[in-house]
Amino acid sequence: MAKTLAQLNAQIAELQKKADAAKAKEAVGVIARIKEAIAHYGLTAADLGFSGPAAKGGKAIEATGQVVTRKRRKNVAKKSGGAIRYRDEAGNAWTGHGKRPRWYLAALESGKTPQDLEVK
């Protein structure tokens, strides 16, 4: 006797449920063996590679299996670049630190001196 599509789908669903239950039961045994090995050998989260950089969301996993949220640094105000030492007529400004900006080099090429561009 041939089975209908609905009967086949019901049989597939039942077999899938049995497979999922067996998988869950097996996972419980595996977890128990892992915990036993961790306790026997005195392993830490660092030994297992769980104490590295936190995953997204600042979370890490301890050896106990608990998810722990790590503290994050508070927003620190950025250090200012320093006082402006040079400015041109167009409003471009430079502190005098780092690479010379193009507007500064162009002003020097046009005949201006650094003293002409200094903020007084």
- More confident of the two residues 72 and 118: 118
* pLDDT tops 80 at residue 79: no
pLDDT over 80 at 74, yes or no: no
d(C-alpha 19, C-alpha 77), whole Å: 55
What span, in angstroms and rounded, lies between the C-alpha atoms of 113 and 103?
13
Tell me the pLDDT band of 62, cut-offs 50, 70 and 90.
Answer: low
End-to-end CA distance of the chain: 101
Instruction: Evaluate if residue 82 carries a pLDDT over 60.
Output: yes
Q: Which comes out higher in pLDDT, residue 59 or 41?
A: 41
